[in-house]
Structure 1
């Protein structure tokens, strides 16, 4: 499966919880089934990922019905156990399932069709470590880590981090070039050229079978840094 849930969607589905509950991963058989409207077509985005420390799975669907009608479908399925939260032009429905699972369904669309993004999260039984998000991945001082995702259903357990800091794309790329060189990585020739005025820089680093791609992009509130570790 090539699709992955957007950073925006995932940030809306859970708060700033922390990474690192490998011993609490749910088995596939434990996940609750989430209903979808009749005639809906969909696909699994991830059978199992760890999002900021929480085990979860994600899927999506489309159906030829307006979002309001789809919302009513879930209200009929879940009764009073539904919390609806408007997020821009979307609506996020939340529902607690037995066994410590929380389900979110993000609905968007128009008068004739709806796109649904489903997230099922296994809520942790214990407090998550305060330093968990971004743990083990180097970064410049005062860098905020918004998301730390590990895709457990990929052969190499691909990890994606989304970060924000006040440094330029060039400063970020210079840091990661030094950081990974010290760990035995080689900067790949496919990396982009980066200058002080560059709004966007991409660095690719290789160590035997391991690969790291770091993309730094200048934004309105700072530089957004996205790292993919394979």
Structure 2
């Protein structure tokens, strides 16, 4: 079963908004699935807002209740259970990791995600968006890195009160001063709902997508290369 990379729904029991100190961690645990279940890896190593994770998706001919029973038997009594927007969620600690499965009905069977989170050794402050240019008073709410991909990648989701045209003007000036060159038309006419800017610098590529919201702009920055 093929799967495209995407940012996962973060299980409510997962450890989030913490910095990670992976040096002492053991190898990632293996998630065992029933035989009548197809699975695909979303990413083997992702850093989601400072937390190291790996995720996979699955579809099974077993029902949601059967899948929950399967994981409860596999993990034993130390299981945390939650419900979230139609998903049934189970989580437990496995050594240096927290493993979470979330599942919901699909057809006569079920589908779901498995997330593995490296538990931080200590709490640290995280600076989301570090090193990525953005206008003042821009809030970064997602900063996702894929450091082990063949081509390292990073995606940021941000919001601010500027218009798409004001944001575009900032990036056109800032990227030029930082040594980036245009990899596209990179114009944004007045009154349009959004802008798409493309830049390159050596082997690096950067795309900035800006869309108009309700009195704000949504900004998604994609960076590839190093």
Instruction: Give yes or no for TM over 0.5.
Output: yes
Change beyond 3 A, Cα 1:120–1:171: same
2:196 to 196, 202, 208: 202
Give the count of matched residue pairs: 223
Bigger radius of gyration: 2
1:226 to 206, 220, 223: 220
Partner of 2:5: 4
Could you tell me how far 1:203 is from its partner in structure 2?
A: 0.9
Tell me if 1:113 matches 2:109.
yes
Deviations 1:135-172 (A, max 9, x none): 11121222221121111221232111111222222222
Partner of 1:82: 79
Q: Which runs of 5+ in 1 are unaligned?
A: none
Contact 1:18 1:132 in 2 (8 A): no
Matched residues in 2 for 1:31 and 1:79: separation? 19
Matched residues in 2 for 1:26 and 1:205: separation? 38
- What are the within-5 Å matches in structure 2 for residues 35-46 of structure 1? 35-46=32-43
Matched residues in 2 for 1:211 and 1:57: separation? 24
Could you tell me how far 1:67 is from its partner in structure 2?
A: 2.2
Partner of 1:127: 123
Deviations 1:5-40 (A, max 9, x none): 336x14857565156x5x62688x700111222211
Superposed CA RMSD in Å reads 2.6
- What are the within-5 Å matches in structure 2 for residues 1-230 of structure 1? 3-6=4-7, 9-10=9-10, 14=14, 17=17, 21=20, 24=22, 30-98=27-95, 100-128=96-124, 130-189=125-184, 191=186, 193-220=187-214, 222-230=216-224
Could you tell me how far 1:221 is from its partner in structure 2?
A: 7.5
Contact 2:18 2:123 in 1 (8 A): no
- Name the SS of the counterpart of 1:177 in structure 2: helix
